[in-house]
Amino acid sequence: MAERYSSFEPNGTSWLLQRITAALLVVLLAFHFFQLHFLNHAYEVTFAGTRARMEDPAYFATMVLFLVTAAFHGVNGIYNALVNQGIQGARKRVAKYGLILAGLVLVGQGIRVAMAMAGVTFA
């Protein structure tokens, strides 16, 4: 029988955070689909409506949580997939820090857009 291999240490922090973010994504994605596909149909979603939703602090916080959760889950998953494929040494470090940088840029830009949609300006 083939032995199961995973780069995640069972019960390690990375393993736990991957599971927590997966559970959060199920809930947040359900909220997103309910809001933008059932409550408001695609043809009803407008810039003004998006701006109005983003001005609600609870909705804004939910969407930022969705962004951060999805970014972490994706970046962590890609990194561990690369480790599972056998990446080592300098390539592993480059992948790790490259993915961290990409995740931070993604989250930073996403928060910047969310704040613009919420009408937050910096003078």
- Note the pLDDT of residue 7: 63
- Note the pLDDT of residue 5: 59
- Note the pLDDT of residue 42: 76
Q: Determine contact, residues 32/66, Cβ cutoff 8 Å.
A: yes
For residue 59, how far is the Cα from the chain centroid?
Answer: 16
82-109 pLDDT per residue, tens: 998 999 999 999 999 999 999 999 999 9
Q: Hey, where are the domains in the chain?
A: 61-123
7-41 pLDDT per residue, tens: 666 668 888 999 999 999 999 999 988 888 888 77
Provide the terminal-to-terminal Cα distance of the chain, rounded to the nearest Å. 64
Q: pTM of this prediction?
A: 0.84
> 106: closest CA among 51, 77, 66, 54?
66
